Amino acid sequence: MTKYLLLKHYRGAPAPVNDVPMDRWEPGEIAAHVQFMEDLASKLRASGEFLDSQALAPEGTWVRHDAPGRPPVTDGPFPETKDLIAGWMAIDVDSWDRALEVADELSSAPGAGGEPIHEWLEVRPFLEPGHDAGA
């Protein structure tokens, strides 16, 4: 089994087919989207493939250690993760192909008008002990 992170992006990925920002969806469309996500998580939980999923709030900041007792906080000039990553699902599956199947299903979540979003998801394997990070 290999763990994968399926990243949902606000920006930085190609535009989805149903490219209507969630802040312009009707309450029922948001509820249908959340229910889809919960149903998929339940299905993956039942198969033993689900690890975690989270939606992220838009606020956040960068923190870097400078010296003992002084962790300065800065907002740039870095890309804003809070603007890029909307949330994730972590899975533990037996193959890359299965990770792609799960991402494909996740991409079909409903959005505006109840139509599938067809969003692009970033699929990243966890770095496992003994794995060559440069490979």
**pLDDT tens digits along 37-56:** 999 999 999 999 999 999 88
Contact 15, 96 (CB under 8 A): no
| 24 φ/ψ angles, rounded to the nearest 5 degrees | -110, 5
DSSP labels for 3-62? EEEEEEESSSSPPPSS---GGGS-HHHHHHHHHHHHHHHHHHHHTT-EEEEEE--S---E
Task: Express each pLDDT in 102-118 by its tens digit.
Answer: 999 999 999 999 999 99
This prediction's pTM: 0.81
